Amino acid sequence: LTWTPPAWFSAGSGEACHKLREEIDSAPYLQTYQQHAQNYDVGVPYPNNLLRNVAIRATSAPYITVLDADMVPAAGLAKEAASMLAVTPGDQLVALVTPAFEVKAGTAIPTKKTDLLKLLDSGDAEPFYYRVCAKCQNTTDFPRWRGLLPGMADVYQVAWKDPWEPLYVTRREQMPLYDERFKQYGFNRISQVCELHIAGFQFLVMTDRFVVHPGFKTGAFHPSKEAEQLSNRLLFRKFKQELKQKYPGVHRRCY
């Protein structure tokens, strides 16, 4: 499969991201798919982590960012993250956390922190997953992030705590691959973040950059969500036991 990008496409361009999404959303085959299937409800187990690993193995880029496909990064995020990681000692394991937010449907996507802060104050934006699983993002420490005005600091460090599943940027060569046994809904991403914690990564929250999901997440899920989550929860318990063997002598745990 090959793709020749249009003239307007350039890496790191916010305008290009919006135009690319418009082209994807208008693709006839995707519109047909959206009319007949819900998320994770397509008749076959969706291999989230397999696809993530395919992307990681296929790129030669020195840095990897973990994002949902429908999220929009703040202006300058890629450049600033690359600059930070470039001056980080090579033996230091670092995940630069990109705080995630949601904005009300129809709201213009903010690209600067000052604009996002205004939306948070007005109630037109909120932390990602605030209505579905607030504890899955709370470790980011959103009150601290909001209290730091642009330019006050580059990053602040937080300790990983279950069930935090941050979005982040890190070095590709140091990043553990995703466990491909996790499919469908539940624990597919948190298992990999758990391994980052066990492996000794530092989680540094970027204070001026962020990513945004258009629309507020709600509790509406596909019918088999609960069964999938239970199955993957059992697999996650097994996964954590396996990490003890993979990282002998390490006292950190995913609890």
* pLDDT at residue 33, rounded to an integer: 47
What does the buried/exposed string (b/e) look like for 213-244 if buried means 16 or more CB atoms within 10 Å of the residue's CB?
A: bbebeeeebeeebeebbebbeebbeebbeebe
Alpha carbons 188 and 233: distance in angstroms, whole number: 10
Q: At what angle do helices 225-246 and 190-199 cross, to 10 degrees?
A: 20
* pLDDT at residue 8, rounded to an integer: 46
Q: What is the pLDDT along the chain (255 residues), one digit of tens a residue?
A: 344 555 544 444 556 666 666 766 676 655 554 555 556 566 677 898 999 999 999 999 999 998 888 999 999 999 999 999 999 999 999 999 999 999 999 999 999 999 999 999 999 999 999 999 999 999 999 999 999 988 888 999 999 999 999 999 999 999 999 999 999 888 999 999 999 999 999 999 999 999 999 999 887 677 788 889 899 999 999 999 999 999 999 999 987
| Straight-line distance from the first to the last Cα atom of the chain, in angstroms, rounded to the nearest whole number | 42
Alpha carbons 77 and 95: distance in angstroms, whole number: 14
Structure tokens at 177: 């691959």
* pLDDT at residue 20, rounded to an integer: 65
CB atoms within 10 A of CB 162: 16
Beta strands 211-214 and 100-103 are parallel
